[in-house]
A and B are shown apart, each in its own frame.
Chain A
Amino acid sequence: MPEEKFSGLAILIAEDEYYVATELARELARAGATVIGPAPSVDKALDLNGSHARIDAALLDVNLGGEIVFSVADLLRERHVPFLFATGYDRSMIPPRFDDVVRCEKPVGADKLGAALANVLSGK
């Protein structure tokens, strides 16, 4: 990931796999982002969403410890925060209202997720 690619951006991470989450957080921080989270659960992600006035982008794992992340996605959309899904699920498991959301199929490395997020942000 090029240095400072996300310089100054506040990025929320919701990911229940510790290693995936920490690696992602490390990579984003290295690229200049301020990481919000990572959140291992829907509750925690909702808390973070509520407590942070500024969120510039979000990476959401669809399944957080057996709970589905869509309630978080809906709130982010209301705030016009761009986000993308990282998921092990098939497209059919994702509701049609999120058809336009970029999905990265797991397993996916932090570098690819970062690149996908950069695309989402530049397309804003």
Chain B
Amino acid sequence: MLSDALRPLTDALEIQETATRLLGEHLDVRAVNYGLVETLDGVDHYVIDRAYVAPGRRSTVGRWPITDFPGFTTVMHAGETMAVHDVANDPNLMPRDKAGLASTQTPAFVMAPLVKNGQPTAMLCAVEDRPRKWTNAEIALVQEVAERTWAAVERASAEMALREAEQRLQVLMEGIPQLVWGAVEDGRWTWASPQWTAFTGQEERDSHGWGWLDAVHPDDRERAQEAWANAVERGEFQTDYRVCHASEDRYRWFQTRATPVRDALGAIIEWLGTSTDVDDLRELQERQRVLVGELQHRTRNLLGVVRTMANRTGDTSDDFPDFRVRFQDRLEALARVQGLLSRLSDDDRVAFDELIETELKAMDNSDGQVTLDGPRGIRLRSSTVQMLGMALHELATNAVKYGALSKPDARLVVRWHMDPPDRRGRPWLRIDWRESGVRMPPAGVAKLGTGQGRELIEGALPYQLSAETSFELGPDGVHCAIAIPVSASNVQAESSHA
């Protein structure tokens, strides 16, 4: 009868409740407890959370330290069933047990323990609220119900654990960003997770066998098959190949790994594999490689510029203190340009107005005498910025020392504009630097700095930046014109505004 009642139940709690109720009704007792041994705050307790209690009788739910029941516990640890007709007069119970049982108003009981791996873990306990002479049949029944209940509970728990594990695995397999699949020994697929279909657009059944290769880049198919040829010997499958991404209509790199599932004898039953999208990672790695190379190049180039700067400044300095002042001044200008460049993100460019403002701001006595007139935001090529910055610095330094910025009533006007693209598609920036109100010393005495600035403008800019330049010392001051090709993105930007 009990087995019939328990068999359809799949839930452990339901089984316990049904078993305790049927037993309680059959024995016509006050209660049947399902008790566990649990550690609470480091102390082992008997815990009764659930019990069948006959209608109108006192509940038996509660928790008690097991040390309150030393005699009871000894019997339970031994895994023996214990039947007590009258607690007060029982010869096997100790005074402490009796006190404890009296406090729970349990004068008679039958207890059947469950000892698992040598540890008492649970008990089924029929409790009466007055002394009762238990028959052997009743005692045997409690024992049998306990055993059957344990068996049913174990089975239900195991089934539930299995169902939960399966469900968790399912959620995991379908929720992870990898493409998951199974294959037999030589690489023929037996199933694919929904991610595979979602990514490749290939129906699950079409991926079976060698069907999955259809989604692999043609150039990578041979390598993928070769990897399978070696997989059994190595006990692992591991390779990178490109898989077609249906929604992007392009191939992306995947890192693919598979592990064999083996039977008890070690033979491979199947392979479980994952393919991880590493396309972004590969792209970043490649980008990083290029960037590191570029950084090396730029750093060494910059050191080369500093070296030249030191040499040229040395050639034209009167003595060491003179060299020190002038070298430091140029080094600072170079640092300002680097500052502008380092702020940039990828497709950013330094604009000409930023460059000239940065340079003139560094000459702090230029207020009121300087007019800057030209459109903002004309983007310079990165390769241009450094040298053009240094040329502007030489012009500005010269103006401060000998030109418009050395005299309170002189003026400096810098105008610029952009010319439409030449036949090579390069727009040109035309810069006009004009100083006025400077009474020039007789011709031949005047110099732009020490000639170094002039060489920069007339030699280096044309050579290195394909610039067209002119430099003249008029009676009123310096007039310098510089035209350089600038970033083609200026043209695109303009046309997109139009």
Give A contacts to B, CB under 8 Å. 16-23, 38, 40, 63, 65-66, 87-90, 92-93, 105-107, 109
Picked from B297, B303, B307, B387, the residue with its CB within 8 Å of the CB of A63 is B297
Bound-state CA distance A16–B381 (Å) is: 15
Give B contacts to A, CB under 8 Å. 289, 292-293, 296-301, 303-305, 307-308, 311-312, 383, 387, 459-460, 463-464, 466
Bound-state CA distance A66–B292 (Å) is: 15
Chain B residues in 8 Å Cβ range of A90? 292-293, 296
B300 with A23: CB separation less than 8 A = no
B300 with A106: CB separation less than 8 A = yes
User: B interface, by DSSP: helix, strand, loop or mixed?
Assistant: helix
A88 with B296: CB separation less than 8 A = yes
A17 with B464: CB separation less than 8 A = yes
A19 with B312: CB separation less than 8 A = yes
B459 with A65: CB separation less than 8 A = no
Bound-state CA distance A93–B293 (Å) is: 7
Picked from A22, A23, A40, A106, the residue with its CB within 8 Å of the CB of B301 is A106
A17 with B297: CB separation less than 8 A = no
Chain B residues in 8 Å Cβ range of A87? 297
Chain A residues in 8 Å Cβ range of B297? 63, 87-89
**Given A40-B463, A66-B383: A20 and B304 interface contact (C-beta under 8 Å):** yes
A107 with B293: CB separation less than 8 A = no
Bound-state CA distance A106–B304 (Å) is: 7
B304 with A105: CB separation less than 8 A = no
A-B contact pairs, 11 of them (CB 8 A): A17-B464, A18-B387, A19-B308, A19-B311, A40-B466, A88-B304, A89-B293, A92-B289, A106-B300, A106-B301, A107-B307
Picked from B304, B305, B308, B383, the residue with its CB within 8 Å of the CB of A65 is B383
A19 with B460: CB separation less than 8 A = yes
A94 → chain B closest CB, angstroms: 10
Chain B residues in 8 Å Cβ range of A65? 383, 464
Q: Which 6 A-B pairs have the closest CB atoms?
A: A88-B300, A107-B304, A18-B460, A19-B308, A88-B297, A106-B300
A81 → chain B closest CB, angstroms: 23
B308 with A20: CB separation less than 8 A = yes
Picked from A18, A105, A107, A109, the residue with its CB within 8 Å of the CB of B464 is A18
Chain B residues in 8 Å Cβ range of A106? 300-301, 303-304
A92 with B304: CB separation less than 8 A = no
Closest to B459 in A: A18
Chain B residues in 8 Å Cβ range of A17? 301, 304-305, 308, 464
Chain A residues in 8 Å Cβ range of B296? 88-90
B453 → chain A closest CB, angstroms: 13
Chain A CB count within 10 A is highest, among B303, B304, B311, for B304
Chain B residues in 8 Å Cβ range of A21? 463
Chain A residues in 8 Å Cβ range of B308? 17, 19-20, 23
A88 with B307: CB separation less than 8 A = no
Chain B residues in 8 Å Cβ range of A88? 296-301, 304
Chain A residues in 8 Å Cβ range of B460? 18-19
A107 with B303: CB separation less than 8 A = yes
B454 → chain A closest CB, angstroms: 13
Chain A residues in 8 Å Cβ range of B303? 106-107
Chain A residues in 8 Å Cβ range of B299? 88
Chain A residues in 8 Å Cβ range of B459? 18, 22
